[in-house]
Structure 1
């Protein structure tokens, strides 16, 4: 297959973006790996990756990096929207600044970059946009309502873009990772707080544990995940959805189950049956 020019966001060391950049480059592609702090891309140059600082919440940064790539190599064949922000906590408690940052990054930042890159792809009459969603975009869980809904929005947005961009020869693919070894869980854990007056203070340990739930001993190594995804993205025609990683089959299975079954499972799994309500008796 001919060398592809691939722009990837969220490539900080230790994450799946870093593994994707490395794997695409090892396949002989021209990879532009990006993240806000370029120092976090250390080591990717050894695989031939080009490194750029990119903040997907800044239109100025998006425009500058996109134009630099077009000026230097003339095209972007594949855009991997991997940059994401965590948000863990009960919906009644979660800091609204954290919630807004999650949506700004996961949804609007992704859309901003697509709007910058897609017109260049349309001029070429081809291209591929890969948006990294999540298995919780299929089935939301307690204590991750903001993050899950942002990923559900990515899935929904991608479904629309897949149709709207088809006339221009642009494919849109959703990648829905399951439990993948990365630094994302630790980033989420740093943001978790359970207020002392929370209605859920009695199950605080379940809320805190939710941040790193995907980082257990059974999680899929990010190199394995990257190999699976890269193979499918580089196919002439990619699947509409690439769902892969530990627990991913469980979320797909739950997606098709009746709500009363899902509710029963999650109610106990995430400690809601242990919430102390302190209801006043009449």
Structure 2
């Protein structure tokens, strides 16, 4: 059996993309790991992964990376769109540069890579596209509004791609991670912006806590997450949604609950009820 060729974006050491590469490789796949900087993927060569530079927000970079994979492997069987950028803070406060980076990377970056690789797969008549969304794609949370918007867009985009690529035998799957051990919490904290005139100064502690919420002691280990995801993707016909990790069931339930219940749960959990209102 010919080893499936896998292209994974966002493979910086310490993240879920890094672990996904290692796990795909263990399962006998030929893996191309990508990130904006080669040096950020240190160690993946030990797992027989080929490391390539890829900036998903740059069309020239996407085309160049794609061509290198085709030149070396001839085709791509599985694309995992994992590259992502965080954004934490109240919607009225988030720095626009952070917001634009988040949306550009998480939404247009995914779309841009799908347009190149998806076309290739459609012309071959087979392939699997895996877009990494999030449990906040099911239920957006306070203090992570921009990030929630971006992941909800990934879910919606994938639902459409799944239908549009079905005639070409290309499967599209959303992977919605819950709380997974990674370096994402540190990256999220760096995006927090609470201006002096913020309406939410009184809940600063909740906003910073939201940035690290996915990295608590109960977070699912990255290798456990990767093993479940890779197993689910390597079957002949993967599910449309694979939801894995701590808090994932909670957010699936929230997705189906009436809004007033969801608002009450998230408002209490994330400190919205403790925001001090303005005095007249």
> What TM-score bracket applies, with the shorter chain setting the length?
over 0.9
The residue aligned with 1:172 is 172
Q: CA deviation at 1:212?
A: 0.5
CA separation in 2, counterparts of 1:234 and 1:217?
A: 30
Determine whether 1:106 maps to 2:94.
Answer: no
The residue aligned with 1:183 is 183
Q: CA deviation at 1:279?
A: 2.5
The residue aligned with 1:45 is 45
CA separation in 2, counterparts of 1:278 and 1:141?
A: 23
CA separation in 2, counterparts of 1:192 and 1:223?
A: 28
The residue aligned with 2:219 is 219
Q: CA deviation at 1:148?
A: 0.4
CA separation in 1, counterparts of 2:141 and 2:119?
A: 36
The residue aligned with 2:266 is 266
Q: CA deviation at 1:152?
A: 0.2
Per-residue CA deviation, residues 146-169 of structure 1 (Å, 9 max, x unaligned), is 000100000000000000001111
The residue aligned with 1:71 is 71
3-state SS of the aligned residue for 2:128?
strand
Per-residue CA deviation, residues 195-226 of structure 1 (Å, 9 max, x unaligned), is 11000101111111110100000000000000
3-state SS of the aligned residue for 2:176?
strand
The residue aligned with 2:204 is 204
CA separation in 2, counterparts of 1:257 and 1:197?
A: 35
The residue aligned with 1:161 is 161
Structure-to-structure mapping, 1:209-248, within 5 angstroms: 209-248=209-248
C-alpha RMSD over aligned residues: 0.8
CA separation in 1, counterparts of 2:184 and 2:93?
A: 21
The residue aligned with 1:24 is 24
CA separation in 2, counterparts of 1:68 and 1:11?
A: 17
CA separation in 2, counterparts of 1:248 and 1:232?
A: 16
Q: CA deviation at 1:73?
A: 1.3
CA separation in 2, counterparts of 1:198 and 1:120?
A: 47
Per-residue CA deviation, residues 25-46 of structure 1 (Å, 9 max, x unaligned), is 0111100000001101111111
CA separation in 2, counterparts of 1:26 and 1:47?
A: 8
Q: CA deviation at 1:268?
A: 1.3
The residue aligned with 2:148 is 148
Per-residue CA deviation, residues 127-153 of structure 1 (Å, 9 max, x unaligned), is 000000000000011001100010000
3-state SS of the aligned residue for 2:267?
helix
CA separation in 1, counterparts of 2:8 and 2:133?
A: 14
TM-score (norm 1): 0.98
Q: CA deviation at 1:269?
A: 1.0
3-state SS of the aligned residue for 1:165?
helix
Q: CA deviation at 1:265?
A: 1.1
